[in-house]
């Protein structure tokens, strides 16, 4: 009847309030055998939390609002304008003039795979510095492509690697690519960069750097430091939602990747296509390659706009100041910082050794339950060794450091000692 048709239309536009009626109608009239899942007939729940772990970090309202703007087509001229703005923002954030500068549609891992898949051909050798999870992860990716060589610190698995050791390894093995993490978030280490690009250049090796956890928090100068390929993620100090990942290639990297004998194994991450999609290849028209995350790009543009307004130097200064303040507070609580050398500590993610006699999981659960605050344990090789506190971008404030310290003090008081 007409009444019934009307009520179905009504139900379709006001799904959640009328769900039980819809289910009744479904059972009697529908051809589907899998019913709508009950969980989806309840409203979305995403609690407000203090994201004081290694990322994602809280996203400022301005960036959230940008991501909530009406969608436009991924091939509309306005979208190309926004992508051009993003490119400029990344060039500023990376301190580079590379024209081959884009954002991946995907998290930092997408950029990591894009770099390796485009720069390396099957059978070529890749040298990877390992001092935490990110070196391990790139090794996982690179070993699918070519011959893998690992480089560790002689002193301690989480320490920075001496330039001399890098020099000898590059000279001896002649890799086509050397990978180093600037901000190793699993260890809380910020690796010195100066001089390494020159070593690579001298031996005709591309220098690939991961700044996912450090960009905007610690200085990096892509051009001045002779970095050939640099990438980051959106969800750390940039404070955009996870899902986009800036990456840039200089002329040397372009020479290598656009003169390959073989196609990169990934179509989605093939820079021949991505460079056209981002208008970096000098061709008059941009062709369809894939549908980029339109809302994610809106948000990324806004986060880069905030960084441009704040200024890189101010952003670096603030992360240094707040992380120093946090570190002093942690030491006052009797906690031990995992990276002993102050200058090597990552200003975005601070690692503390797990306090003697405590169960780190219990402490983290306690802090989440009683303070609605995320801190995390270690990641990959540092699991069971550290707890991590991240105060990045929008979250990088002394008042937040105070809150994190209070939460930790509370956990130290109220979590039972299970060992020692
Ligand atoms: C992720 O990036 C992490 O460090 O946990």
Same domain? 354 vs 296: no
Whether 420 is covered by a domain: the verdict is: no
Average pLDDT over residues 381-389: 96
Q: What is the CATH number of the domain that holds 405?
A: 3.90.1150.10
Residue 20 has pLDDT above 70, yes or no: no
**If residue 275 lies in a helix (H) or strand (E), which one and from where to where?**
helix 271-277
Lowest-confidence segment of 154-168, 265-279, 283-297 by average pLDDT: 154-168
Probe residue for ligand 1, chosen from 52, 55, 383 as the CB with the greatest number of ligand atoms within 8 Å: 55
How remote is the CA of residue 36 from the centroid of ligand 1, in Å? 35
Distance CA 66, CA 68 (A): 5
Domain that holds residue 17: 2-41
Evaluate: CB of 246 within 6 angstroms of ligand 1: no
Confidence of residue 5 (pLDDT cuts 50, 70, 90): very low
Distance CA 4, CA 16 (A): 18
**If residue 167 lies in a helix (H) or strand (E), which one and from where to where?**
helix 163-173
Atom of ligand 1 nearest to the CA of 185: 4
Out of 266, 293, 309, a domain closes at 309
How remote is the CA of residue 55 from the centroid of ligand 1, in Å? 6
Cα angle 319, 325, 329 (rounded to 5 degrees) comes to 140
- Quote the tokens at residue 374: 């995320």
Same domain? 36 vs 158: no
Atom of ligand 1 nearest to the CA of 379: 5
Residue 56: is the preceding peptide bond cis (ω within 30°)? yes
Same domain? 374 vs 329: yes
Same domain? 10 vs 146: no
Probe residue for ligand 1, chosen from 52, 54, 111 as the CB with the greatest number of ligand atoms within 8 Å: 54
Confidence of residue 4 (pLDDT cuts 50, 70, 90): very low
Distance CA 77, CA 84 (A): 11
Distance CA 85, CA 90 (A): 9
Confidence of residue 416 (pLDDT cuts 50, 70, 90): confident
Residues in the chain: 420
- Quote the tokens at residue 194: 């100066």
Average pLDDT over residues 27-53: 92
How many structural domains compose the chain?
3
pLDDT at 21: 59
Strands 206-210 and 229-231: parallel
Mean pLDDT of the chain: 93
Q: At what angle do helices 77-94 and 294-310 cross, to 10 degrees?
A: 40
Same domain? 325 vs 220: no
pLDDT at 407: 98
pLDDT at 9: 45
Confidence of residue 7 (pLDDT cuts 50, 70, 90): very low
Nearest in space to 226 (alpha carbons), one of 257, 195, 190: 195
Confidence of residue 27 (pLDDT cuts 50, 70, 90): low
Whether 49 is covered by a domain: the verdict is: no
How remote is the CA of residue 396 from the centroid of ligand 1, in Å? 17
pLDDT at 155: 81
Same domain? 358 vs 229: no
pLDDT at 200: 98
Same domain? 272 vs 233: yes
How remote is the CA of residue 187 from the centroid of ligand 1, in Å? 10
Question: Cβ contacts of residue 235 below 8 Å, gap of 6+?
Answer: 55, 56, 57, 107, 241, 242, 243
Same domain? 174 vs 228: yes
Judge whether 137 is annotated as a binding position: no
Evaluate: CB of 54 within 6 angstroms of ligand 1: yes
Same domain? 26 vs 88: no
Distance CA 23, CA 40 (A): 12
Q: What is the CATH number of the domain that holds 184?
A: 3.40.640.10
User: Helices (H) and strands (E) in the chain — how many of each?
Assistant: 14, 14
Evaluate: CB of 185 within 6 angstroms of ligand 1: yes
Probe residue for ligand 1, chosen from 110, 185, 217 as the CB with the greatest number of ligand atoms within 8 Å: 185
Same domain? 236 vs 289: yes
Quote the pTM value. Answer: 0.92
Probe residue for ligand 1, chosen from 186, 235, 237, 242 as the CB with the greatest number of ligand atoms within 8 Å: 186
pLDDT at 417: 78
CB atoms within 10 A of CB 31: 5
Average pLDDT over residues 86-115: 98
Same domain? 89 vs 220: yes
How remote is the CA of residue 108 from the centroid of ligand 1, in Å? 10
**Ligand 1: which residue has its CA nearest to atom 1?**
54
Residue 149 has pLDDT above 60, yes or no: yes
Nearest in space to 191 (alpha carbons), one of 176, 212, 173, 175: 212
pLDDT at 29: 75
Torsion of CA 256, 260, 266, 268, to 10 degrees: 70
> 3-class SS at 126?
strand
Give percent of the chain with pLDDT exceeding 70. 93
Evaluate: CB of 233 within 6 angstroms of ligand 1: no
Whether 369 is covered by a domain: the verdict is: yes
Atom of ligand 1 nearest to the CA of 53: 5
The residues pairing with 206 across neighbouring beta strands, listed in sequence order, are 177
187-246 tens-digit pLDDT: 999 999 999 999 999 999 999 999 999 999 999 999 999 999 999 999 999 999 999 999
Whether 51 is covered by a domain: the verdict is: no
The residues pairing with 167 across neighbouring beta strands, listed in sequence order, are none
Whether 47 is covered by a domain: the verdict is: no
Distance CA 288, CA 291 (A): 8
Evaluate: CB of 379 within 6 angstroms of ligand 1: yes
Atom of ligand 1 nearest to the CA of 376: 5
How remote is the CA of residue 310 from the centroid of ligand 1, in Å? 25
Whether 276 is covered by a domain: the verdict is: yes
Average pLDDT over residues 317-343: 98
**Ligand 1: which residue has its CA nearest to atom 4?**
185
How remote is the CA of residue 186 from the centroid of ligand 1, in Å? 6
**Ligand 1: which residue has its CA nearest to atom 3?**
54
Evaluate: CB of 55 within 6 angstroms of ligand 1: yes
């Amino acid at each position: 009847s007409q009444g019934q048709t009307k009520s179905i239309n009504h139900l379709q536009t006001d799904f959640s309030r009328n769900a039980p009626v819809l289910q009744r109608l479904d059972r009697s009239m529908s051809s589907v055998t899998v019913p709508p899942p009950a969980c989806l007939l309840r409203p979305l729940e995403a609690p407000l939390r203090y994201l004081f772990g290694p990322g994602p970090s809280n996203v400022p309202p301005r960036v959230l609002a940008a991501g909530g703007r009406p969608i436009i087509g991924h091939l509309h001229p306005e979208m190309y304008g926004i992508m051009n703005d993003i490119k400029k923002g990344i060039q500023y954030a990376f301190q580079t003039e590379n024209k081959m500068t884009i954002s991946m549609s995907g998290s930092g891992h997408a950029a990591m795979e894009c770099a390796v898949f485009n720069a390396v051909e099957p059978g070529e050798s890749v040298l990877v510095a390992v001092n935490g999870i990110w070196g391990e992860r790139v090794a996982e990716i690179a070993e699918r492509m070519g011959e893998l060589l690992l480089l560790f610190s002689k002193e301690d698995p989480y320490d920075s690697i001496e330039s001399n050791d890098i020099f000898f390894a590059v000279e001896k093995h002649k890799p086509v690519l050397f990978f180093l993490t600037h901000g190793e978030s699993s260890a809380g280490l910020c690796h010195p960069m100066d001089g390494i690009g020159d070593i690579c250049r001298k031996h005709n090796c591309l220098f690939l750097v991961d700044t996912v956890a450090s960009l905007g928090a610690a200085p990096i100068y892509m051009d001045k430091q002779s970095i050939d390929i640099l990438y980051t993620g959106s969800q750390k100090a940039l404070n955009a939602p996870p899902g986009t990942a800036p990456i840039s290639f200089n002329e040397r990297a372009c020479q290598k990747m656009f003169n390959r004998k073989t196609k990169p194994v990934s179509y989605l991450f093939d820079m021949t296509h991505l460079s056209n999609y981002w208008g970096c290849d000098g061709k008059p028209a941009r062709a369809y390659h894939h549908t980029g995350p339109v809302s994610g790009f809106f948000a990324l543009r806004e986060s880069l706009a905030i960084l441009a307004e704040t200024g890189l130097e101010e952003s670096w200064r603030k992360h240094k100041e707040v992380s120093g303040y946090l570190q002093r507070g942690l030491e006052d609580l009797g906690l031990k910082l995992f990276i002993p050398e102050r200058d090597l500590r990552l200003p975005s993610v601070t690692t503390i050794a797990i306090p003697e006699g405590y169960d780190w999981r219990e402490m983290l659960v306690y802090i989440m339950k009683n303070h609605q605050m995320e801190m995390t344990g270690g990641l990959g090789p540092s699991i069971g060794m550290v707890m991590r506190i991240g105060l990045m971008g929008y979250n990088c404030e002394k008042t937040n450091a105070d809150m994190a310290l209070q939460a930790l003090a509370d956990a130290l008081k109220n979590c039972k000692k299970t060992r020692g």
